[in-house]
Each structure stands twice: as structure tokens, then as C-alpha cells.
Amino acid sequence: MSIKSLRLTSATSALLCATPFLFSGALAQNEDSSTEDEIFVTGSPINTSVDESLVGVSVLDGDELANRLNGTIGETLKSEPGVTSTFFGPGASRPIIRGQGGSRVRVLDNGIGTVDASSISPDHAVAAEPALAERVEVVRGSGILRYGSGATGGVVNIIDGRIPREVPEDGIDGVLRATASTVDDGSELAGAANFLLGKAGTADIVLHIEGTYRDTDDYDIPGFAESAFQRAAEEGEGEEEEEEEARDVLENSFTKTDTLAAGLSFVSDRGFIGLAVKQANSEYGVPGGGHHHHEEGEEEGGDEEEEEEENVFIELEQTRYDLNGELALDGATFEKINIFAGYADYEHIEFEGPGEVGTVFTNEGFETRLELIQRPRGEWKGAVGLQYNDNEFSAIGEEAFVPPTTSEQIGLFTFQETNVGDWHFEGAARFENTSHTDDTNNVEREFDTFSVSGGADYHFNENWRVGGTIFRTERAPATEELFSNGPHLATNQFEIGDNTLDTETATGIEAAIRFRNEVASLSFNVFHTTYDDFIFLGATGGEEDELPIYEFQAADTVFRGFEIAGDVILSDDGKTVWTADAVLEKVEAEKDVVNNDNLPQIPPLGLLLGLQAESDYLIVRGEVDYAAEQNSVAPFELPTDSYTALNAFISITPIKSDPTLKVRIAGLNLTDEEIRQHSSPLKAVVPQPGRNFRISLEKSF
């Protein structure tokens, strides 16, 4: 560890140790607070509402979150505007935002990075559990400077109550839920509770406990595992079919996960401070093929080489500690301080067969962010912040395509905003120093990046707003982009990095239109981003170790597209409210506009139409989910067909005198459509699940 790192870590540790004492002496005073469900907390330290955001944002909570809830965060969010997923089977699925993923989309666990290996490879699961999330917030676009260069494509923040911010009414609150699904014979149990333990001076002591358990078998699919395009390509290459093609059930798509967490907070009118610990374990199959092992056998005619294929599965474990606090200040300059800190020890083991260890991935990381919220001066508001990350990553084994690396990052940022009449103005800036070291070859790369964004909107009246954002952001290359060099059999690629890659620069503009009245709302975002030296993993056409070679390359690239989301109340007779809603989205990405040279895994045009009826004790929703065919593909990439999926959701309050008891029934992919998500690296061999019926019993208290 460098002297710079040692000093930063020591200073941060001292700050964390001193924080509880700072809070304990200041928890007695009052501070006005805004209603939680009206506030969007992820985009900026200066919390704002969703309607006031200049960039594309989404909030998933309540019944909508319950309907979308899935075993992975990628599948939970894929119906949100501008969001798809990597879908590497039900065990590993990471969000793709506007066609971008990996190291450009930061997935946060209560405001701090997940400290795992999910951004390095799509077969690596996100170490965050959506089952007990209170809400999930999504920020789309490149102008998000609060979380660093790893968020240039967007941010997903999973917010749960692991560190309580409020005192439970009547001294206790919580939720219990049991779920069963038919497509995979799945079962899930989840529960969380907050307890008021007593007082410590002027602060209330609140204890939080939670746990989840999920177990699913291989899931049913509507037909062949391989797509028609894949089967045709194999026939064209003259491959002979040695065994019956897999169909009806996707082999090796099982999952088993469990988490256990506890948190303790000191809460008062002036703020809160809390600590939490979480233990997460997961075991899941990697579908779509296995590793090939060659065994020599001797026969009368001589030596014969026999090939045996094993199913690959992953065992994942993470222990995580978090600190989060918020304190009202009395100074003339700053009115509040926010602190976020997290440390995690992560390990996952890739097994090439039962008891046969292939590769062991580990990541030990620490992240902290300190934010000072300025006291408003007239219409002027602002915040300044400091962020520090330290990660030690290693991969040992046959698939150690990334060498052991150490990464450090320190960032300084500011957000400022003001109102002038009917105009609203925002600006942000961030300086960041990032260093990556290949510990095996003692190669270090260091990058200084500077990013700025600015925007404005005009309020025509209380219903209509029009605005836009311009930005120039810089991103340092990630460790896998610099140092990869080896076979990655989960993705069937030999991946090669380039340690001479330079900073990636994005320059873009995003325009937004917002409308809302008592019966309807509309949100429209259109974006155009030009990248200098955009880093991507592209096929070369070569082969090594019987795997196609993919190299991390840099090229000038353009991303453009739009998202439209709206809803309208069709009728309200005082007993039943009928609502219709729709989402339309499109993204294009080209690294050579003249020759139409496309980037891989860019999702096609998507459309979601919904119709819902809601009364006091019953909510019924039906929807059509459509994705167009995708023929704009990169070299050596197969296209995907269009699909139309029908889904239905029913929420019942069976006991009218007890609104805390809910029965939820979902019918997913009711027509048993073959669905292949183009943003998935395994789209040609791993379809989405077939028809599925899911039932949940939920009790809150």
C-alpha cells in the first residue's frame, strides 16, 4: 500500500471512529425533513423529486417493486425505461443502462459500491440482495458525478432498511414474505424487522435484523436452448450433432442463496448514525455450456483422447460492514453532513465439476464518501464531497484471465443549483485520481480525470417543464480492460487487455420534457453522447486455446436514443381506478458511423404497455412486453428475433380488516414465448424462462 493510501486510510479510520461521538453530542435539536417518498436521493446530495430531475431517473417501490422482484437486480429492473440486463442465467444478471454496463454502471448497496467481481464478468453475480429492498433508484446517463468514473453510464442504488433512519411506530415494524414459482420449482423466504431497544441520552436505539433464503431448480424453457440463428450457424460450419439438442429445460440453471444481516442505529430529531453487518452466500449454475477436460485412455490400437464436459457452478460468499450517518449542523456555511462507508471481503469459487475447483476470485475493498450540504443562501443550494476507494482483487486458477491487482481512487466533487424566476440551473464538477497496479508484473497506471456537467430547465407552469443537460466526463480504464490476458470459458472467450489504454472521454447532451397533472404524467428523455477512445471488448477473428480471441480496444463511438414513459387515469368512479401506462425506449451505438460498425449487445427497440384496475382490496394489472428484432450487430455477433410477452399481476387484501396481509399472484410470459435478451452474452444459448406462475404471501407489521 502506498504512503498516500496509508495516510488516507488512517485519516478515514479516525473520522469513522470519531463520528459516533460527534453525533452523540448533537442529537437533541430539531430539523425539518421532507416526505421520504417524494425525494430522489441517489443523483445528487441535494435531494430532489423525480419530476425535478434533469436526467432520466426511475424509482421502483411499493406494489411495482413487488411485481418486478426477481432473484437478481438485473432481472428486477429490466422493465424500467432504458434498462436491460446481462442475463447470464438466473444466478447472475447485472443491469445494462442505455446499452452500457460493466465498469460504466455502478450498482450501489445503500449508497456504497457492492465490492464484488460483477463488473469484471457477466457470469459473476452482484453481491446485493433485492428481496428486502424498500426501493430501488436508477439514474440514467453520463452526467452523474457523485459516485466516480465508474458511474459514467448510470447508477443503480438498492436501498433497504439495514441501517434504520427512523424510529418504528409502536416500537416494532417489519415484513415477512413467502414465495413459490412454477417454472423452476422455486421457493423463497424473506423477513426483516426493526425494534426500538431504548434510549441513549437523547437518541433512540433501533435494532434491525433481516434474512432471506431462495432455492430454485433448473427452469423450463419453450423449446430449444440454442436459438435458430445458433443452430443455423453450426450447421453452416458443418458441425455434426453428437447428441440430442437440449430443449424444454435449461440445464445447470439452478440457484441457492441466503443472506443474514443486522444493524444498529442511534436516531434523533437531528439525524442518525448506524452500523450494519451482512453475510451473503450464493451457489448457482452457469448455463450455456461447460468446461472441456481431456482424459487419455489407452486401447489396443493406441492412445485415444476422450473429451468430457462438466457443468460449471459458482459458490459466492461475502461479509460486509457498513456505516451510514446524517447530522444537522449549526454552522453558517454547512447545514448537514452525510457519511457513507463500507468494507467487504468477497470470494467466489468457480467449480468445473463437483469438488473440482477451477478459479478463485477474491476482492477486499473499502469505500467511504463524506458530503457537506451547504446552508441555502436565498435560492442557492450546494454540496461538496470527498470519496475514497481501495480494492485488492485477485484471481487464482485456470481461468485467472485478470491478474491480482490493487486499485485506489480519490475523488473531490461539488454540486450547485439555483432558481431564477421560472428557471432552474444546476452544475457539478469532479476531480478524480485513479491508480491500478498489476501486482504480478509490477505494472502501474495512474490517471487524473476531470468531469463537469451543467443543466437548466424552464417551468412553463405547474404542469410543464422543459430542460436539458450538457456534460463532459472522463473515465479511467478498469483493471480488466488494462490487464486481462487469458481464457475466460464462462463467456467462451480468450480475453486480452491493453495496458496502454488512455482515458475515455464522453461529451454529450440530454434533453428532458416533464408533464404532470392530477390524471396524467409524461416523461421524455432524448440523449446523444460522443465518446473519444470508448473502450470495448471486441472480437478479432483469431483463436487461442480453441477459444475466439477478444481484445479490449478503444474507438470513437456515438450513443444516441430516447425513453418515453407516461400514464393516464382512464376512469375513477370512486370504487375502481383504471390506469393505462406505457414505456418506449431505443438506443443505438456505433463505433464507425460511416460504415455502420455497431457495438455488440446493444438492446433493440422496446415497448411496454400496461392496463391496471385498482380498488381498496384488489389490484389487477395486465401488460404487453415487446422487444423488436436486433439485426444491427457487431462482427461475429448473432442477431435476435423479436418477442412479445404477456404478463399479469394480482394483489389481493383477503381480510378487509387487516390491510397488512397481502396475497400476490403473477403470471409471467403467459404465452410461453421464446425470449432472448440481446444484451446477454449468452443470448444464443440461454433463453429466458418460459411460462411461470408465482404466488407470494406477505405480512407487514
pLDDT at 595: 65
Question: Confidence class of residue 240 from pLDDT cuts 50, 70 and 90?
Answer: low
Q: How far apart are CA 63 and CA 61, in angstroms?
A: 7
Residue type, 581: D
Indicate whether 693 pLDDT > 90.
Answer: yes
Return the sign of the alpha-carbon dihedral for residues 651, 657, 658, 661. negative
Task: Tell me which residue of 279, 275, 242, 236 sits closest to 259, measured CA to CA.
Answer: 279
Q: What's the mean pLDDT when you consider all of the chain?
A: 89
Indicate whether 24 pLDDT > 50.
Answer: no
Question: Confidence class of residue 539 from pLDDT cuts 50, 70 and 90?
Answer: confident
pLDDT at 378: 94
Give the distance, in angstroms, between the CA of residue 270 and the centroid of all CA atoms in the same chain: 32
pLDDT at 475: 95
pLDDT at 238: 66
Task: Tell me which residue of 639, 645, 615 sits closest to 627, measured CA to CA.
Answer: 645
DSSP state of 108: E
Which percentage of the chain shows pLDDT scores above 90?
74
Indicate whether 295 pLDDT > 50.
Answer: no
Indicate whether 215 pLDDT > 90.
Answer: yes
Q: How far apart are CA 84 and CA 583, in angstroms?
A: 13
Indicate whether 466 pLDDT > 70.
Answer: yes
Indicate whether 30 pLDDT > 80.
Answer: no
- Here the cell at position 352 is 468445473
Hey, where are the domains in the chain?
A: 3-294+310-700
Indicate whether 324 pLDDT > 80.
Answer: yes
Q: 337-390, pLDDT tens digit by residue?
A: 999 999 999 999 999 888 888 889 999 999 999 999 999 999 999 999 999 999
pLDDT at 307: 47
Q: How far apart are CA 449 and CA 145, in angstroms?
A: 12
DSSP 242-311: -SPPPEEE-TT--EEEEEEEEEEEEEETTEEEEEEEEEEEEEEEEEEEEEEEEEEEEETTEEEEEEEEEE
Going by CATH, does the domain composed of 3-294+310-700 fall within 2.40.170.20? yes
Q: 674-683, pLDDT tens digit by residue?
A: 999 999 999 9
Q: 5-17, pLDDT tens digit by residue?
A: 433 343 344 333 4
pLDDT at 309: 57
Q: 164-181, pLDDT tens digit by residue?
A: 999 999 999 999 999 999
Residue type, 592: D
Indicate whether 294 pLDDT > 70.
Answer: no
pLDDT at 596: 63
Please give the average per-residue pLDDT across 155-167, as a whole number.
94
pLDDT at 28: 37
Indicate whether 27 pLDDT > 60.
Answer: no
Q: How far apart are CA 208 and CA 134, in angstroms?
A: 14
Question: Confidence class of residue 326 from pLDDT cuts 50, 70 and 90?
Answer: very high
Q: How far apart are CA 159 and CA 132, in angstroms?
A: 9
Which percentage of the chain shows pLDDT scores above 70?
90
